[in-house]
Amino acid sequence: MPTFDVLFREHYAFIHRTLRALGVDPTAVDDAAQEVFLVVHRRLGDYDGRASARAWIFGIARRVAHDFRRKDRRLQARLTLVEDTRSVATPEHQLAQQQVVTRLNRHLDTLNEIRRAVFVLCEIEEMTAPEVAAALDIKLNTVYSHLRKARLTLERAMAGERTMARGQ
C-alpha cells in the first residue's frame, strides 16, 4: 500500500489538472486539492488496491469537485439575490416578495410534519440529505423520497395558483 507522502508527490499535479478540468473555479483549486488530500489521508486505510491509486484518487477528486461547484452555484445564487434586492427595493417589490413567502408558507402548511421538515432543512436551510437524515433520524432514501414529494406538491400548488390567476 502506498504511503500518503508518495500519493501526494505523485498525484498532486494530476489532482490540480483534474479539478480544473472538472470545473472547479481557478481561485478555489488549491482549496479543493487540499480537501482531496485530506480525504485521501483520512481514507487511506480503506484503499484496497482493486483500482489503481490514481483511479481511486480521481474518484475522490470528482466528488470534491462536485461539492465545490455546488457551493459556488449556491454562493452565486445568493449574491444574485442580494444584488437583486439592493437594486429593486421598491415597496411593490417588497410586497411581491412578502406575498410569495405567504403563499409558500400556506402551501408548506399542507405538508405533513416530516415532509415539511425535510423540505425546510434541504431547500431553505441548505443542509445535505445525509445531514437531514442524521438530524431527523431517518433513512437517507426516505429523505430523498420526502423531498421529491414535497417539491412536487409545492410545484403543483404554485402552478395551480398561476393558472387561477391567469383565468381571472
What amino acid occupies position 13? A
Backbone φ, ψ for residue 72 (5° rounding): -65, -40
- From residue 142, give the alpha-carbon distance in Å to each of 26, 107, 115: 36, 21, 10
Q: Which residues contact 87 (CB under 8 A, 6 or more apart)?
A: none
What amino acid occupies position 43? R
Query: Cell numbers at residue 77, please?
Result: 445564487
Does residue 39 have a pLDDT over 80?
Answer: yes
**Mean pLDDT of the region 54-73:** 87
Confidence (pLDDT) at 137: 87
Taking a C-beta distance cutoff of 8 angstroms, is the pair 20, 63 a contact? no
Determine what percent of the chain is predicted with pLDDT higher than 70.
87
Angle formed at CA 101 by CA 98 and CA 105, multiple of 5 degrees: 140
Confidence (pLDDT) at 122: 87
Query: Cell numbers at residue 127, please?
Result: 443542509
Give the confidence band of 95 by pLDDT, cuts at 50, 70, 90.
confident
Mean pLDDT lowest among 50-64, 97-111, 145-159: 97-111
Confidence (pLDDT) at 6: 66
Q: What is the Cα–Cα distance from 61 to 19, expressed in whole angstroms?
A: 7
Q: What is the Cα–Cα distance from 81 to 75, expressed in whole angstroms?
A: 10
**Mean pLDDT of the region 53-75:** 86
- Whole-model pTM: value is 0.46
Confidence (pLDDT) at 84: 54
Does residue 113 have a pLDDT over 80?
Answer: yes
Does residue 86 have a pLDDT over 80?
Answer: no
Does residue 43 have a pLDDT over 80?
Answer: yes
Q: What is the Cα–Cα distance from 125 to 128, expressed in whole angstroms?
A: 9
Confidence (pLDDT) at 42: 92
Confidence (pLDDT) at 54: 79
Angle formed at CA 51 by CA 50 and CA 52, multiple of 5 degrees: 125
